Structure 1
Amino acid sequence: MLYIENPSTDPYYNQALEEYLFTAIQDEDLFFLWRNTPVVVCGKYQNLFAEVHVPTALEEKVALLRRISGGGTVYHDLGNINYSLITSCEPATVDYTQFLNPMIAALSRLGAPAEIVAGNGIGVDGKKISGSAQRMVKRRVLHHGTLLFDTDLSRLRTLADGAAHGDVSKATASNPWPVTNLRTVLPQFDTTEQFFDALYAELDKAFSFERRTLRKEEEAAVRKIAEEKYHDWDWTFGGGPGFERTRTIQTPEDTFPLSFTVKKGIIQEVKSEQPAFTALNGHRFEPETVRRIIGSRSVAEQLF
């Protein structure tokens, strides 16, 4: 199995790297471990605005991304390790267990009492330390997941809070589960980097990795995908299912209901007894734009 060397911690580049390897290399089994600077990543079929507190993420300069696989929303920072496995198999034989078991075995050898939880996750003592998702095209499958080692769990809960309950949508909703860090059961590792190296060593025993670095032209192709797709507002914010949202808006002068729909990230069908809000029609559903049109930061944030 090829192990792809990837020192990057840029979320946009790393998301593009997964997609490039999944589509461009069809005749090799691939694996790589990687880390990201702070980012919230939602599943392909999710309503980002229902899963993430978008104003807070943008204010704190936390990246927001939409990946190519399904599943729920996850938070990454440098205390989290991501893993990706790309291989070929018959569609009828694919399940999460076959991909989770090697990771569980490696964690167990390091001393973590790991087990499958919530169907496609890994947990210790009943709390989740890993969520995973998959994408399959023909006979090619991408399986990837997180490993919370020393993640800022408070920030995770604040940003990926699923706060907008009540949206009418066909979007896939995340499945909340209590989480913990692997550091609580693996005290022998002082840093995430130490754990990263130890985990790699255990997985190498199982997979017999052949290390490989990207060629310059491959890196250029990855950067192109990152720029054209993962930095693109229409993919990240406009790429999910449409939804209908109803809010009770409070101003110093009044309290009133407001409803609107969002399709491809664009506000439509605003219904309000306050005519000024209809000016939102046709504009992007994004905090700065809504604030500018409404003229009030506190009122604008009530829409999110």
Structure 2
Amino acid sequence: MYLIEPIRNGEWVYDQGTTMAIQAYVRDNIFLDDKIIFPYMVNPSVQIGLNQNAYEEVNQPYMDEHNIGLVRRETGGGAVYLDDKNMSFCYLVPNDGDTNIFGQYDKLYAPIIRVLEKMGVEGLEQKGRNDLTLNDKKISGAAMTIVHDRVYAGYSLLLDPDYEVMNTVLKPNQKKISSHGVKSVRQRVGTLRDALDPEYQDISVWKFTEFILKELLEVDDLDDAKRYVLTDEDWQAIDEIANNMYNNWDWTYGHFETFDYQVQQRFDGVGTLHIGLTITHARIEAIQINGDFFGVKPKAELEDKLIGTKLEASALREALADTTVDEYISGLDAEDLIRFILAIPSQESEE
């Protein structure tokens, strides 16, 4: 098995979009005489499945506030939070003979289970559709598809999960961290560190990954591993993929075709405001503003200004740059309206 690492000019690449682009480039262009493994660890980010609507899966206001990225992968499955405390692994495996693992998550997990058991972990089991559990708590979720007659698969391993961030970021429009919610996540999500033998209890994520890779690659030293080192030409193509796809707003947010979106709230000094939107490829196709508010200009004018606008703060600000929102909704300014549409908590608003 070949090892391909996300290392450029001697530095590990943490950008989630570039990491996905590396995998896509190798998947479609690099064909070697053996299986391939990619370890990857990224800046705090959420990775959503191919068929998921970003607006329904993540707490975007919280992500914006805490600089947490979002990327859409090309395989199905659910949303997962990734950060620089936990390592993930991706594989390219020929889809034939004994190596055929497509749809068989027990086979995908079997090698890593053997490695973790060598580190003292007991109680590992593949459960449900695609989860790896530790004493019935989830410590990994996997996804896979077939491309160019190879199985493209991957999973993350929770060595040090951040329960608080996981609980908050994967709950759309949640306005505050709930201690009950954090406890709930702790009940459902496990940690590998607590299950390791004493000699590994203080292991770093890098040493943890090194141990795993040496076992999977069957080498005593990673310097002896078979490697494919990405060339300058490879990186040029990878950058293009990242820019055109994984780091592209339209792919991440606009991929989902059409959905309806509604927000309602009472504002002090304004009244009750209800906005219903139809979102197509993450842009406002239709919008209707209702409520018991006052205004001196017809709300239809304000609605027309927002048609075709991306459902993101900067685009909404640009659309309203020359508009006095207070003329349409008395007591409300443009920033209040934008925060309301995007369900960003406002201290002035009433629940």
TM-score, normalised to structure 1, is 0.87
Pairing 1:58-73 to 2, within 5 Å after superposition: 58-73=64-79
Q: Is 2:281 aligned against 1:264?
A: yes
- Deviates further, 132-141 or 81-90: 132-141
RMSD: 2.5
SS in 1 for 2:218: helix
Higher RCO (CA 8 Å, separation ≥ 6 residues):
1
Gaps of 5+ in 2: 7-11, 175-184, 292-298, 321-333, 346-351
SS in 2 for 1:199: helix
Instruction: For residue 54 of structure 1, report the CA deviation from its aligned partner.
Output: 1.1
Verify the 8 A CA contact 1:249 1:302 in the aligned structure 2.
Answer: no
Map of 1:106 onto structure 2: 115
Q: Which moved more, 1:228-237 or 1:82-91?
A: 82-91
Which residue of structure 2 lines up, in the alignment, with residue 94 of structure 1?
102
Larger Cα-atom Rg: 2
In the TM superposition, residue 137 of structure 1 has moved relative to its aligned partner by: 2.5
Deviations 1:135-160 (A, max 9, x none): 21252220011111113221121112
Q: How big is the shift at 1:118? A: 2.8
**Are the equivalent residues in 2 in contact too, given 1:43–1:72 (CA < 8 A)?**
yes
User: SS at 1:210's partner residue?
Assistant: coil
The correspondence for 1:282, drawn from 285, 304, 308, is: 308
Find the aligned partners of 2:344 and 2:42 in 1 and give their Cα distance.
29
Q: Which moves more between the two structures, 143-152 or 19-28?
A: 19-28
Structure 1 position 219 matched with structure 2 position 235: yes
- The equivalent of 1:242 in structure 2 is 258
Counterpart residue number, 1:9: 14
Q: Render the CA deviation track for 1:156-181: whole Å, top value 9, x for unaligned.
A: 211122458xxxxxxxxxxx992122
For structure 1, which runs of at least 5 residues remain unmatched after alignment?
Answer: 165-175
**Corresponding residue to 2:170 among 160, 170, 186:** 160
The count of residues paired between Structure 1 and Structure 2 equals: 292
CA distance in 1, matches of 2:117, 2:16: 28
Equivalent residue, structure 2, for 1:170:
none
Q: CA deviation at 1:236?
A: 1.1
Paired letter, 2:341: A
| Distance in 1 separating the partners of 2:195 and 2:101 | 33
| 1:21 counterpart = 2:30 | no
CA shift, 1:281, in A, is 1.9
What do the CA deviations read for 1:243-277 (whole angstroms, capped 9, x no partner)? 11222232222124321111111012212226245
What's 2:330 paired with?
none
Partner of 2:41: 35
Residue 168 of structure 1 corresponds to none
Q: TM-score, normalised by structure 2?
A: 0.76
Identity of aligned residues (%): 26
Contact 2:2 2:228 in 1 (8 A): yes
CA distance in structure 2 between the aligned counterparts of 1:104 and 1:286, rounded to whole angstroms: 42
Measured against aligned partners, the alpha-carbon deviations of 1:48-72 in whole angstroms (never above 9, x if no partner) come to 0111111221222111111111111
Cα 1:242/1:103, change in 2 over 3 Å: farther
Q: Is the 8 A contact 2:125 2:132 kept in 1?
A: yes
Asked if the contact 1:287–1:300 (Cα under 8 Å) also holds between the matched residues in 2, the reply is no
250-259 or 148-157, which deviates more: 250-259
> SS at the partner of 2:19?
helix
2:205 counterpart residue number? 192
Aligned mates of 1:52, 1:228 — CA distance in 2: 22
d(CA) in 2 for partners of 1:247 and 1:117? 37
- Which amino acid in structure 2 is aligned with residue 225 of structure 1? I
Structure 1 residue 27, shift from structure 2 partner: 4.4
On the 8 A contact 1:45/1:241 being kept in 2, the answer is no
What's the offset of the Cα at 1:198? 1.5
Aligned to 1:147: 157
